[in-house]
Structure 1
Amino acid sequence: MSSDADRTATRRRRQLTVAVRDALRDLNIQLSLLNRRFGNRVELRDIDWTCLDLINRHGPLSPTALGRLAGVHPATLTGILDRLQKAGWIARERDPESTDRRAVTLRPVRDRNPVLFQLFSGMTQRMDEVCAEYTDAELEVIADFLRRAGAAGHESAEELTN
């Protein structure tokens, strides 16, 4: 009897794991669609938006640091930064700490953030509604899972880089 229960438990665990992976794939698709539509509204390519988000979240950054975070080749990054600066999303500032006069620091233009907040307000509201249905303890587990899933994605992307 115990072996039947073990098989049932193993099968159930496998089904749940597949359901989580499928849900993450569906989430990835929906977020990609959301980001693409958002990008169209503010005239940013997907990679431009990714870089802007990284600068907003982790900046100020050097172009080298941004390139590493975004997994973008330096030549490609130059075009991205040119577009972001021209559209007024970022500022390139000379780095006074550097002995290299060409060194710059990338800073977000925070005055533009209300545009981003407005465009994402529907998603923010919907996510607040989703989160309201969970206890604090459940939200801690969900946040931990998402951080760990993000780390797994980062590690997997790094593997593909090498």
Structure 2
Amino acid sequence: MSSIESGGRRRSVTGIKGSLRALRNQLSLLNHQVGARLELRDGDLDCLELVLEHGPLTPSALARRAGLHPATVTGILDRLQRGGWVARERDPEGTDRRAVLVRALKDRSAELYGLYAGMSTAMDDLLADYDEEQLALLADFLRRTTEAGRAATEDLGRQG
């Protein structure tokens, strides 16, 4: 590889990393605005999103996925339940009578998704410009980037 090619590649890689940081910041701001509209703290919204994506979950499974202490998750679940976002239900497969699952309540979920409608429409418009092969490449990149982020998070958690 020539120094021109390596310099161009280095600039591209640096640009992609910078764009990912900018995207993370912008999505964080969007999530903060959504949370403020719904009167949810950032951590509460994060946990609600995890329940919507992976639920129903036990509180301990939610704590692991969120990287939070179980006592912190208990407080978050109390607020989400009071707000009508989630329900705690007895775990039918639990060996302990106290075992519960946290389930998102669908009627409130529509309110949440409505606030993301503008971003969803913008993404649909943006992605319409890409062909199937390009979309597959983007999907693979985002999946692998998410996995790299998950691994880095777990590594930091083990160090702490």
What TM-score does the superposition give when structure 1 sets the normalisation length? 0.95
Q: Give 1:101 shift.
A: 1.4
In 2: Cα distance, 1:57 partner to 1:99 partner: 25
Q: Percent identity?
A: 51
**Which of these residues, 139, 145, 159, is aligned with residue 143 of structure 1?**
139
Aligned length: 158
Q: Give 1:149 shift.
A: 0.5
Q: What's the counterpart of residue 15 of structure 2?
A: 19
Q: Show CA shifts across 1:117-141 (max 9, x none).
A: 2111100110101101111111110
Residue identity matched to 2:15: A
**Which of these residues, 89, 96, 102, is aligned with residue 98 of structure 2?**
102
Specify the structure having the higher radius of gyration (Cα). Answer: 1
Q: Give 1:20 shift.
A: 0.3
Q: Show CA shifts across 1:64-106 (max 9, x none).
A: 1111111010010000000010100000001122221111001
Q: How does 1:1-150 map to 2 (within 5 A)?
A: 6-150=2-146
Could you list the runs of 5+ residues in structure 2 that have no partner in the other structure?
none
Structural RMSD (CA) = 0.9
What TM-score does the superposition give when structure 2 sets the normalisation length? 0.96
Could you list the runs of 5+ residues in structure 1 that have no partner in the other structure?
none
